[in-house]
Amino acid sequence: MRNFKKYLTVICVACMAGILITSAASYADMSEDLVNASAEGRIETVKTLLARGADVNSRTSKGRTALMAASFGGYAEIVELLLAKGADVNAIDNVRRTALMHASFEGHADSVKLLLAKGADINIKTSRGQTALMAASFGGQPEIVELLLTKGADVNATDVLGGTALMDSSFRGHTEIVKLLLTKGADVNAKDIKQGTALMDASFGGHPEIVKILLAKGADVNAKDNKQETALMDASMGGSAEVVRVLLAKGADLNAKNNKGETALSIAREKSFSDVVKLLKGAGARE
CATH number of the domain within which 258 lies: 1.25.40.20
- The domain boundary, picked from 67, 90, 121, lies at 121
**Tens digits of per-residue pLDDT, 68-100?**
999 999 999 999 999 999 999 999 999 999 999
Which tops the pLDDT comparison, 219 or 28?
219
Residue 54 within a domain: yes
Residue 272 forms part of a structural domain = yes
Domain-embedded: residue 216: yes
Boundaries of domain holding 41: 26-121
The residue ranges of DSSP E strands in the chain, in sequence order, are: none
Phi, psi of 114, deg, nearest 5: -65, -45
Same domain for 107 and 200, yes or no, is: no
4, part of any domain: no
CB 108 within 8 A of CB 74: yes
- Judge if 108 and 196 occupy the same domain: no
The reply to whether 176 falls in a domain is no
d(CA 211, CA 173): 10
- pLDDT at residue 275 tops 80: yes
Give the whole-angstrom CA distance, residue 111 versus residue 78.
9
- Domain-located, residue 274: yes
At residue 10, does pLDDT exceed 60? Answer: no
**Residue that terminates a domain, selected from 121, 153, 180:** 121
202 C-beta neighbours (distance < 10 Å), count = 35
- The pTM score is 0.89
Q: Centre a 10 Å sphere on the Cβ of residue 50 and count the other Cβ atoms it contains.
A: 20
**Residue 85: is it exposed, middle or buried by C-beta count within 10 angstroms (0-12/13-18/19+)?**
middle
Domain total in the chain? 2
Share of the chain above pLDDT 70, in %: 90
110 and 198 share a domain? no
Q: Are residues 117 and 194 in the same domain?
A: no
Neighbours of 114 (CB within 10 A): 23
Question: What is the pLDDT, as a whole number, of residue 17?
Answer: 36
pLDDT exceeds cutoff 50 at 38: yes
Residue where a domain stops, chosen among 62, 90, 121: 121
Q: What is the pLDDT of residue 28?
A: 56
How far is the CA of 51 from the CAs of 32, 85, 188, in angstroms?
Answer: 15, 10, 51
The verdict on residue 36 lying in a domain is yes
Region 167-180: mean pLDDT is 98
Q: Does a structural domain hold residue 15?
A: no
Q: Which of these, 119, 138, 122, 107, lies nearest to 205 by C-alpha position?
A: 138
Instruction: Name the residue type at position 170.
Output: S
What is the structure's pLDDT at 29?
73
What local confidence, expressed as pLDDT, does residue 4 receive? 37
Query: Do 195 and 283 lie in a common domain?
Result: yes
